[in-house]
Copies of this chain bind each other. A is one copy, B any other.
Amino acid sequence: MESRAVTRDDVAKVAGVSPATVSHVVNNGPRQVSKETRQKVLSAIKALDYRPNAIARNLRMQKTNSIGLIIPDNKNTFFSEIALGVEQVAFDSGYIVFLGHSAYRHDRELSYINMFISQQAAGVIWIPGSEDPTAARNLENFNIPYFLLDRVIQGVDAPSITVDNFHAALWAVQHLIELGHQRIAFIKRPTDLSHSIDRLNGYMEALNQAGISFNASYVVPGGFLLKDGYEAGQKILALSPRPTAIIGYNDLNAIGAMKAVQVAGLRVPEDVSVVGIDDIAQSEYSCPSMTSVRIPEYKMGSLSAELLIQLINKKLPEEKRNTCLQGELIVRDSTAPPPPSSSD
């Protein structure tokens, strides 16, 4: 039962050929094998149910076909769709994906990077959960190609795929301003990273362009879950004068904020408009009155895998080294805002 695994030499023995010939049949080259010999080898392989040992192959070839992927949290649909995109492309290209969660912690990030180095990963795709450049430097020291996703790290000049977060937020605010809103609240990420800072900057720039003065109390921190948005929404609704619109820095907290509005007995969008940045929670069904700036997260994953594989094969064109994807405004609340209240 607990018998030794079938190796290439076993196949060679049964087929009555040399081990090298078996290799050349298995790999379809680089040497020619006569039709007759090939047939003998193939039937021996089938008879023994021989599976080439990828570990031995990897050691000999000094390279693997595995790609390391680190995302902060697979519970967050934004990241799980990215992981899906990475896996699909990797699979189609014969790569296999190691999945790690950083939980936004740099020590876990670093552990995974070090594991990937040990495992001789062919490349790494990675959504940084912190600003620490150590992990990136490690990969560089070991010449492992990598792509940063969604966020960049200050001082690290690496291949990356990001989203134009500045314009995503800018468009969201402009949309609301066009509808006549003046008091626009913004739920921001509690601990800032490059992408959340960009969104906040887009928010401020849009206000600035419209000549609306910035009110710091309208910027409320909140996590990215429904309950976080709910709580942030409650804080926002308690402000005076009450904002007439809320932008969530992601779609889930926007939906949570929307619930807070409804629970407070107010209507969306007649009393308070809500806009989410990103739209993975399928708002057209769950929140038909919520406008969103849709971010192509699946595309981020699939594209990053595609480009990483090009990078591994040293075929990545320079102009694709840093790609920035645009979000798309999906308008679902065309209703005009309420008439200005007395304090305006």
**CB distance B75 to A87 under 8 Å?**
no
Does residue A101 face the partner (Cβ distance < 8 Å to B)? Answer: yes
**CB distance B227 to A282 under 8 Å?**
yes
Kindly list chain B residues whose C-beta atoms are within 8 Å of the C-beta of A111: 91
Q: Which of B2, B53, B74, B230 contacts A83 (CB 8 A)?
A: B74
Whole-angstrom distance between the alpha carbons of A119 and B101 in the complex? 22
**CB distance B55 to A64 under 8 Å?**
yes
Kindly list chain B residues whose C-beta atoms are within 8 Å of the C-beta of A101: 84, 87-88, 91
Q: List 10 A-B contacts (CB under 8 A).
A: A5-B142, A51-B142, A53-B118, A54-B118, A74-B80, A87-B99, A96-B119, A97-B98, A98-B99, A256-B285
Does residue A120 face the partner (Cβ distance < 8 Å to B)? Answer: yes
Whole-angstrom distance between the alpha carbons of A66 and B54 in the complex? 13
Whole-angstrom distance between the alpha carbons of A227 and B259 in the complex? 20
Kindly list chain B residues whose C-beta atoms are within 8 Å of the C-beta of A256: 285
**CB distance B91 to A255 under 8 Å?**
no
Whole-angstrom distance between the alpha carbons of A55 and B114 in the complex? 14
Kindly list chain B residues whose C-beta atoms are within 8 Å of the C-beta of A344: none
Nearest 6 Cβ contacts at the A-B interface: A226-B285, A99-B99, A80-B80, A54-B118, A74-B84, A74-B80
Whole-angstrom distance between the alpha carbons of A324 and B205 in the complex? 55
- Given A225-B282, A285-B226, CB of A117 within 8 Å of CB of B51: yes
- Taken residue by residue from 68 to 90, chain A's Cβ proximity to chain B (1 for < 8 Å, 0 otherwise) reads as 01000111010011011001100
Q: Which of B59, B115, B282 contacts A55 (CB 8 A)?
A: B59
Instruction: Give the nearest-CB partner of A143 in chain B.
Output: B2
Interface residues on A, range: 35 or more
**CB distance A53 to B120 under 8 Å?**
yes
Whole-angstrom distance between the alpha carbons of A87 and B81 in the complex? 17
Kindly list chain B residues whose C-beta atoms are within 8 Å of the C-beta of A133: none
**CB distance A73 to B77 under 8 Å?**
no
Instruction: Give the nearest-CB partner of A117 in chain B.
Output: B51
Whole-angstrom distance between the alpha carbons of A286 and B100 in the complex? 29
Whole-angstrom distance between the alpha carbons of A5 and B117 in the complex? 11
Cβ of A289 to closest chain B Cβ, rounded Å = 11
- Given A5-B142, A56-B59, A226-B285, CB of A100 within 8 Å of CB of B87: yes
Kindly list chain B residues whose C-beta atoms are within 8 Å of the C-beta of A83: 74, 80, 99
**CB distance A114 to B226 under 8 Å?**
no
Cβ of A227 to closest chain B Cβ, rounded Å = 6
**CB distance A98 to B100 under 8 Å?**
no
Sample of 9 further A-B pairs with CB below 8 A, known A74-B81, A226-B285:
A2-B143, A5-B142, A53-B120, A56-B59, A75-B84, A80-B80, A91-B108, A91-B111, A255-B285
